[in-house]
Amino acid sequence: MFTIKVRPNPVDDVVTVAGLAPGSQLCLIDASGNVVANVITTQTTQEIDMRTLSRASYILQVLYDNKMVKSVQLTRQ
């Protein structure tokens, strides 16, 4: 149903998520389990600015209709 692409990984500044359905939810979670970004999309492509985040690993969860569609580990370098 969804063909979601997350690029680049590792991330320097901005990560782009493509293949989304409008109304999808993107949750970026740090290693402690804290949600550091939460975005409701209005388009099929969404950027998340990670420049203010520490260099570490994060989990990006893509949800649609409150169901997990994709989960990706990202590294902020």
Which pLDDT value is given to residue 60? 98
Residues contacting 12, CB < 8 A, separation 6+: 77
Question: What confidence tens digit (pLDDT) does each residue in 5-54 have?
Answer: 999 999 999 999 999 999 999 999 999 999 999 999 999 999 999 999 99
For residue 68, give the H/E element and its range.
Answer: strand 67-75
- For the chain, the straight-line distance linking the first and the last C-alpha, in angstroms and rounded, comes to 31
CB contact at 8 A, 20 and 4: yes
Q: What structural domains and CATH numbers belong to the chain?
A: 5-75 (2.60.40.1930)
What is the reported pTM?
0.94
Which pLDDT value is given to residue 67? 95
Q: How far apart are CA 12 and CA 20, in angstroms?
A: 22
Which pLDDT value is given to residue 1? 61
Question: How sure is the predictor about 2, in pLDDT bands with cuts at 50, 70 and 90?
Answer: confident
